[in-house]
């Protein structure tokens, strides 16, 4: 297999995926207001769209992962990208919210990009190099996060629908690129059972949690995801309220931290994980993340905040190390199944945490202590690090998941 074209395609895929999600941040309110002719209705529909996408992603990610184990990674990944492109074109052309909701629901149901990308990397990269590869995936994710809002703001100034048209076309260009250059990472295994039990997201996650090693790593991933979503959903509000930063100041900080994180993950994850190993790197990265969250919670000056951000960038290798560790204890014939369950866990956090954290943040504002939620995120990061520390390190896959 020619791995360079395959990995390059995966990097472009993750970048475009995050580009599209970041693009909607500055533009979606204007688009929905244009479609609904009422700002209050637009806000309501924004919540409905986001929740629908998250719920369907949670419900169907395990099935998509299972399908990639049975039929191969390539068709599932290309299907996911095609559905995403259709969704963005629907945003660019839809004249009514129900049509937009239908296409966004389709995109959520087919949102298997992260699942298949992580499984594909495990298929084609040797175990000792996976953390570096996952670090590069994280870097592409961060660059898309930076480029999305910038592109959305610039193109949205020309026409509110233009950013969605451009992103949709980029998706289809990427599908064509993948069709011609992306090899299949492993033949599908038709003996992989497609049962209602394994298609059920609750059951799929539960089966993974029952595994002695993988279960602990999944709980650690869940704690890390919740901590990350608390920070991600509240950070800009916290800076605006606590430090009175302007939107431009917040945007510059977001871009700078994302760029620094992308550069660090591209260059440093490989050497760090080779020196420390996946387990110690996951623990160290989690503890640095906890320090960053706690530093944000207690920051009384902008420079304390900047220091906390820098520590967070330094700890970003922990996620790639944990992902590499998970791939090591997962058999080659069930990478998609496990990654689908993990995507479902992340989708659950993304659907529930922003609303819950937002309500809690509003309540804490009345007591003058809005940073307390970041201390909670720090506690969750410590729990994740402790779970990693307590999990035995093994280079052998655990026994195959029960399929009946």
pLDDT in tens, 293-346: 999 998 888 899 999 999 999 998 899 999 999 988 888 878 888 888 888 888
pLDDT value for 1: 40
pLDDT value for 403: 46
Q: What average pLDDT score do residues 129-134 get?
A: 88
Q: How many domains does the chain have?
A: 1
Give 1-24 pLDDT, tens digit per residue.
445 567 888 888 888 888 877 776
pLDDT value for 400: 59
Q: Which domain holds residue 129?
A: 3-180+194-390
196/151: higher pLDDT: 151
315/236: higher pLDDT: 315
Q: Give a yes or no: residue 399 inside a domain.
A: no
Q: Give a yes or no: residue 147 inside a domain.
A: yes
Q: Give a yes or no: residue 363 inside a domain.
A: yes
Q: Give a yes or no: residue 276 inside a domain.
A: yes
Distances 238 to 39, 70, 301, 358 between C-alpha atoms, Å? 24, 45, 13, 11
Q: Give a yes or no: residue 400 inside a domain.
A: no
pLDDT greater than 90 at residue 292: yes
CATH of the domain at 341: 1.20.1250.20
Q: How confident is the model at residue 212 (pLDDT cuts 50, 70, 90)?
A: confident
Q: Give a yes or no: residue 355 inside a domain.
A: yes
pLDDT greater than 90 at residue 347: no
Give 191-207 pLDDT, tens digit per residue.
666 666 666 778 888 88
364/287: higher pLDDT: 287
pLDDT value for 189: 66
pLDDT greater than 90 at residue 115: no
pLDDT value for 155: 80
Q: Give a yes or no: residue 189 inside a domain.
A: no
pTM of the model: 0.81
Using only the alpha carbons of the chain, give its radius of gyration.
20
Q: Give a yes or no: residue 379 inside a domain.
A: yes
Distance CA 251, CA 379 (A): 27
């Amino acid at each position: 297999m020619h791995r360079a074209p395959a990995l390059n395609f995966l990097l472009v895929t993750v970048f475009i995926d995050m580009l599209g999600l970041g693009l909607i941040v500055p533009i979606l309110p204007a688009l929905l207001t244009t479609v609904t002719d009422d700002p209050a209705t637009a806000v309501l529909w924004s919540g409905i769209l986001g929740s629908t996408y998250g719920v369907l992603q949670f419900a169907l990610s395990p099935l998509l992962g299972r399908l990639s184990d049975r039929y191969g990674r390539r068709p599932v990944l290309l299907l996911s990208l095609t559905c995403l492109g259709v969704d963005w074109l629907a945003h660019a052309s839809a004249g009514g919210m129900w049509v937009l909701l239908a296409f966004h629901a389709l995109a959520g149901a087919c949102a298997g990009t992260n699942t298949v990308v992580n499984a594909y990397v495990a298929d084609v990269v040797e175990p000792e190099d996976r953390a570096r590869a996952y670090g590069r995936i994280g870097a592409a994710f961060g660059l898309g996060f930076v480029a999305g809002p910038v592109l959305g703001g610039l193109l949205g100034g020309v026409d509110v629908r233009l950013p969605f048209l451009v992103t949709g076309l980029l998706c289809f260009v990427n599908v064509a690129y993948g069709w011609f250059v992306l090899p299949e990472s492993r033949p599908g295994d038709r003996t992989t059972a497609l049962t209602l039990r394994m298609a059920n997201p609750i059951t799929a996650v539960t089966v993974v949690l029952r595994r002695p090693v993988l279960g602990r790593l999944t709980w650690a991933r869940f704690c890390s995801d919740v901590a990350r979503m608390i920070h991600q959903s509240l950070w800009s509000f916290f800076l605006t309220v606590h430090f009175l930063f302007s939107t431009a100041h917040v945007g510059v900080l977001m871009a700078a931290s994302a760029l620094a994180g992308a550069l660090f993950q591209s260059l440093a994850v490989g050497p760090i994980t080779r020196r420390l190993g996946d387990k110690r790197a996951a623990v160290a990265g989690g503890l640095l993340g906890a320090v960053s969250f706690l530093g944000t919670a207690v920051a009384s000056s902008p420079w304390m905040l900047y220091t906390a951000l820098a520590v967070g960038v330094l700890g970003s290798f922990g996620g790639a190390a944990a992902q590499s560790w998970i791939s090591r204890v997962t058999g080659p014939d069930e990478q998609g199944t496990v990654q689908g369950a993990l995507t479902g866990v992340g989708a659950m956090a993304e659907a529930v945490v922003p609303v819950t954290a937002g309500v809690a943040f509003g309540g804490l504002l009345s007591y003058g202590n809005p940073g307390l939620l970041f201390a909670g995120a720090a506690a969750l990061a410590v729990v994740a690090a402790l779970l990693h520390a307590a999990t035995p390190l093994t280079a052998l896959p655990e026994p195959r998941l029960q399929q009946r």
